[in-house]
Amino acid sequence: MAMAVLLGYVLTAIGVGFMFLGALLFFNASLMKTGNWFFIPGVLLTFGVEDTLRMCFLTKGNRRGTVAFFLGLFLITRVSALVGFLLQCYAIWLLLTGNYEGFLSTLIRLVKMLPVIGPVFDTVDDIPWVQKQLAKAGVRSYQATSSSPPTTTLYTKAFTWLKRRLLTKEGEGITS
């Protein structure tokens, strides 16, 4: 069982890599198709066939995401790789934010722990619009439970400086 899950992780990672490479190389349909053919068995091996069917097809909120994903696969193979890729991204967003909100919270925590991407995502996470969208998606906020006041980040300092510069008219002072 553990070997099947490990193989599922590897296949899923290879599939995501091929899809990303296909999108990077001007939506190369062949690479994106190959990525999908690795991604789908990877998900099946990672979660198991029964859990995957229950999560994707039998849960009413996730049916729309599953149909959109397979429609995106069809569009990649037959019509347009760009449109199919965008539809698949939307489908994965629907599946991650549907009835399985704990997975998205775990994914965000994992991304924040990465060495290079983590601090960048922490900075993006401070933007009120992003916080509103994540709350709308059902992501549990773990920063709200901390009692320490938020620290001033380099992003907020730079944003404040830029705001002051934009509000001044050629050295006349702040207009508002």
pLDDT of residue 146: 42
37 inside domain? yes
pLDDT of residue 51: 84
46 inside domain? yes
**pTM check: above 0.75:** no
pLDDT of residue 119: 84
pLDDT of residue 95: 79
* Number of separate domains in the chain: 1
36 CB neighbour count, 10 Å cutoff: 21
pLDDT of residue 14: 94
Contact present, 45 and 5 (Cβ < 8 Å): yes
Report which residue type is found at 31.
L
Range of the domain at 11: 1-100
Q: What does the DSSP 8-state code read for residue 98?
A: S
Q: Mean pLDDT, 10 residues at a time, over the chain (176 residues)?
A: 85 92 92 94 89 80 87 93 92 73 65 79 80 72 45 60 64 52
Q: State how far the Cα of 121 lies from the Cα of 68, in Å rounded to an integer.
A: 27
